[in-house]
Amino acid sequence: MDLRGARWAPEQGPHGGAALRERRPGDEKSALQRREVLRLLLGCAAAGQVGLLTGCGDPDPETRVPLADVPVGRRVRIRHLGDAVELLRSEDGIVARSLRCTHQKCEVFWNAPDNVYRCPCHPAQFDAEGRPLAGPVTEPLATVPVRIEGDTVIVGTPAPAL
Ligand code: FES
């Protein structure tokens, strides 16, 4: 049998093992599809390495924090999906607030003596509820869905509707 110029395609052998057969029309299309699937998988892996959110199996949309780590009345800074989020627990419940400035996304910091959030990039200030006070901002700091389940604070997914 002359194998020069022959093009071969993998297939399952009669006993379940791998075998080769000559390519048929249509094999090119399936090879392209396999390459496309591989490219997408590699793209997803690369996106996962840099923490991008994609449709490639997103990271867990919830961040869990032990309730004991969020004492009542204290502002607790956590990371949720790569972003800074502040948890503020009161006797009435808990609030999660994004610490991304609504101007150009710098990370704001709570300034307790002045009772404001300050942006280090430009002169924006937000009040204790995240409302804009000064600077180039017009939008409040975003709130993030949060709930308490047992002894865990769950950030990122609204509580299921009852
Ligand atoms: S990024 Fe915060 S004021 Fe510009």
Whether residue 117 is predicted with pLDDT greater than 90 in this model: the reply is: yes
Range name among 2-6, 101-105, 117-121 with the lowest pLDDT average: 2-6
Range name among 14-18, 47-51, 155-159 with the lowest pLDDT average: 47-51
pLDDT tens string 73-85: 999 999 999 999 9
pLDDT confidence tier of residue 157, bands split at 50, 70 and 90: confident
| Residue owning the nearest CA to atom 1 of ligand 1 | 104
Whether residue 161 is predicted with pLDDT greater than 80 in this model: the reply is: no
Range name among 99-103, 147-151, 157-161 with the lowest pLDDT average: 157-161
109 lines ligand 1 (CB under 6 A): no
Which CATH code of 3.40.720.10, 3.90.1150.10, 2.102.10.10, 2.10.77.10 fits the domain covering 63-155? 2.102.10.10
Atom of ligand 1 nearest to the CA of 108: 2
Q: What is the DSSP string of 50-116?
A: TT---SSSPPPS-EEEEGGGS-TT-EEEEEETTEEEEEEEETTEEEEEE-B-TTT-PBPEEETTTTE
> Which of the two residues, 60 and 74, has the higher pLDDT score?
74
pLDDT tens string 125-145: 999 999 999 999 999 999 999
Whether residue 154 is predicted with pLDDT greater than 60 in this model: the reply is: yes
- Average pLDDT for the chain: 78
pLDDT given for residue 11 in this prediction = 54
d(CA 34, CA 41): 11
122 lines ligand 1 (CB under 6 A): yes
Question: How much of the chain, in percent, has pLDDT values that exceed 90?
Answer: 59
Contact (Cβ atoms closer than 8 angstroms) between residue 22 and residue 7? yes
103 lines ligand 1 (CB under 6 A): yes
pTM for this prediction: 0.64
